[in-house]
Amino acid sequence: MRIQNYITGIQGVTAGGVATLSIPIDRRYHALKLFVSGTFNSATSTDPTELIASARLIVNGVVMRDLLPSDIIKIAKLNGITPDTTNGETPFYFSEPWRASVLGEESTSWDMKGQTSFNLEVTFNSVSVTGSYAITNLAAAVVGSFDYARNLNGANQPFLAIVKQLRYAVSAPSGQFDFTTLPTVNPIQRVHFRTSTGSITSMEVYNDSTKVMEGLAAQINDFYKDYKLVPANGFTLSAVFDFTQQISDALLVQNNNLDFRITSSAANALTAIVEARAPGYV
């Protein structure tokens, strides 16, 4: 049975500060949910995108996830889940609920047994995103979903299949652009693109010179909708290689040669959020 308890001990919850939480490592985690509230412009807000600048999950000193709260919410919405921002919710999913009916979501859970540390870092804004009002009265709580089981392979040995989520930025011109600097060491489940302005009109993806995806943005999104993904609630455009929700449908890059050929309607600061499956906390 999955247990849901508060993870207590968060420190440094202040406007403009970095709050930290040391998370117990004697269990297997399926999810963490951060709940925040604060005051600005003489009113209480529970909108994480107003209060939080960024959030990181760090295991053994290695950053495994580093995202904006808006990106975390968009990933959930793409998969048909709308976080309860009226209650200040920012969810971190390890066992991904959208895979539950497909292959057993627990294969990507975060088993912490044998690890040395697990930490959450939340950087809070000093002023609101809207209106630049000073933020006061910040509060934060974290609830964990966990159990004490292990993920075991056919040989009855523990294994890890950790979905990392990290951001990479580049300046993209108007028109066609080749984005060739994303990491390729681990199988890539998904890459989400967020433009600072304008739109992405089309995309081609080349894996070791083999074209594995192409189309106009709307055409690419139509394939996702067949599997009940909701691209309209997400990013500018996503390359979802495992849109079947099968974790094995990842993109494997053999020769470190990966090219996202993106056509943008305007020059912009382009951010890619890469979801890659690592064999451990590396």
pLDDT, tens digit, 9 for 90 and up, residues 46-72: 999 999 999 999 999 999 999 999 999
The per-residue pLDDT for 255 is: 86
Domains 3-147 and 162-278 share a fold: yes
Distance between CA atoms of residues 39 and 57, nearest Å: 26
Which residues, at least 6 apart from 201, have a Cβ–Cβ distance to it below 8 Å?
A: 216, 217, 263, 264, 265
pLDDT, tens digit, 9 for 90 and up, residues 155-212: 999 999 999 999 999 999 999 999 999 999 999 999 999 999 999 999 999 998 899 9
pLDDT band of residue 254 (cuts 50, 70, 90) is confident
Collapsing DSSP states into helix, strand and coil, what is residue 159?
A: coil
Long-range contacts of 209-212 (CB under 8 A, 24+ apart): 209/257, 212/241, 212/251
Sort 101 into a burial class: Cβ within 10 Å, 0-12 / 13-18 / 19+: exposed
Give the global pTM. 0.95
Taking residue 264's Cβ as centre, other Cβ atoms within 10 Å add up to 24
Computed on alpha carbons and rounded to an integer, the radius of gyration of the chain in Å comes to 19
Across the chain, where does the E strand assignment appear?
A: 3-6, 18-22, 28-40, 43-45, 52-59, 62-67, 89-93, 110-111, 118-124, 136-147, 162-172, 175-179, 188-195, 200-207, 210-216, 237-240, 258-264, 268-278
Structure token digits, residue 78? 């793409």
Give yes or no for a contact between 94 and 30, defined as CB atoms under 8 angstroms apart. Answer: yes
Q: What is the mean pLDDT of residues 240-244?
A: 95
- Assign domain 3-147 one CATH number from 3.40.640.10, 3.40.50.300, 3.30.1130.10, 2.60.120.730: 2.60.120.730
The per-residue pLDDT for 102 is: 58
| Domain boundaries defined on the chain | 3-147, 162-278
pLDDT band of residue 104 (cuts 50, 70, 90) is low
For the chain, give the mean pLDDT.
96
- Report, at the CATH architecture level, how domain 162-278 is classified: Sandwich (2.60)
Structure token digits, residue 258? 């990966």
Distance between CA atoms of residues 35 and 113, nearest Å: 26
The per-residue pLDDT for 207 is: 95
